[in-house]
Structure 1
Amino acid sequence: MPTSMPDDYYRLLHDLQAVDFVLVELTLYLDTHPTDEEAVKQFNHYSSERKKLKKQIERSYGPLQQYGNSYSATDKWNWSDGPWPWQV
């Protein structure tokens, strides 16, 4: 059952997905061009951007990933608070 979230949530999630796409593409490129310094710089830049976006989303809306990949945003376990990214 889809859940409605604030517009900011969708914007942030869209930005995170775009950065993830760039990181996948850069990873594939770097697998075959490991000495391309500019591509490595781009990868590091987008990796840093991803961390910032993920932290911003989780601070406002709760964890995105499980199994130690996301901290609980409060002193209580909030993984079950949802909605989870695939529910919106």
Structure 2
Amino acid sequence: MNNQTTCQCTAETLAMASVPMQEWCEPFDLAAAIHNGTLFPCLNMNFFDAEDIPCPFCDKPALTKAAEQEKALIEICKIGFALNDLTLYLDTHPDCQNGINLMKDLLQQRLDALAEFAKNHYPLTQLSIVTGTPETKQYGWDEGPLPWDPFASCAAAKPNTP
């Protein structure tokens, strides 16, 4: 197994030869990655300066079950974003051991987050039907809101009205 810590790529490994070669740099934490729009600080270059625009989803206190659910969904989205960005990096740097190790770590984090969400709320994916509720040994896909229901995530927060 190759234990290289820096990635050795040539221009031939890039999808477009006119794109400068990206070297490995330590990634942002997940919250910073989704806020900055990239997993990699070395790619965080000004395009549209949105630093002072507040994020309505960041640093919300989890006071209710709906807020707790929303916080968990945001964390799953952060991990998914990092996985997508890392996939783009690995497309042009397939032998980068740092990238491969981070991919394995993020994939496990995503599986764990999906299983935890399924256990506490409802399954989000077909895989989390099994991983999220293994002790029940039952099919739980119908436990969550319908995907086309725009108010499904707000149902827990709404008072019951006749």
Deviation, 1:85, is 6.4
Matches of 2:68 and 2:76 in 1, distance apart? 12
Q: CA deviation at 1:61?
A: 0.7
Distance 1:77 1:37 in 2: 38
Q: Contact conserved, 2:122 with 2:141, CA < 8 A, in 1?
A: yes
SS in 2 for 1:50: helix
Quote how far apart the aligned CAs of 1:28 are: 1.2
Structure 2 matches for 1:1-88, cutoff 5 A? 6-66=66-126, 69-71=127-129, 73=133, 74-84=136-146, 87-88=152-153
| 1:32 counterpart letter in structure 2 | T
Deviation at 1:45, TM superposition (A): 1.0
TM-score (norm 1): 0.78
Task: Judging by fraction of residues, say which structure has more helix.
Answer: 1
User: Amino acid of the residue matched to residue 140 of structure 2?
Assistant: N
| 1:32–1:83 Cα change, 3 Å | same
Q: How many residues of Structure 1 are paired with residues of Structure 2 in the alignment?
A: 83
Provide the secondary structure at the position in 2 that maps to 1:6: helix
Q: Give the letter for the 2:116 counterpart.
A: Q
Which is higher, the Rg of structure 1 or of structure 2? 2
The percentage of counterpart residues that share the same residue type is: 28
| CA positional deviation for 1:62 | 1.3
SS in 2 for 1:41: helix
1:84 deviates by: 4.8
Q: Deviations over 1:12-37 (max 9, x none)?
A: 10000010010011111101101111
The RMSD of aligned alpha carbons is: 2.2
Distance 1:64 1:47, change over 3 A: same
Shift of 1:7: 1.4
Deviation at 1:6, TM superposition (A): 2.1
Matched-pair contact (CA < 8 Å) for 1:64–1:85:
no
Which sections of structure 1, spanning at least 5 residues, go unmatched? Answer: none
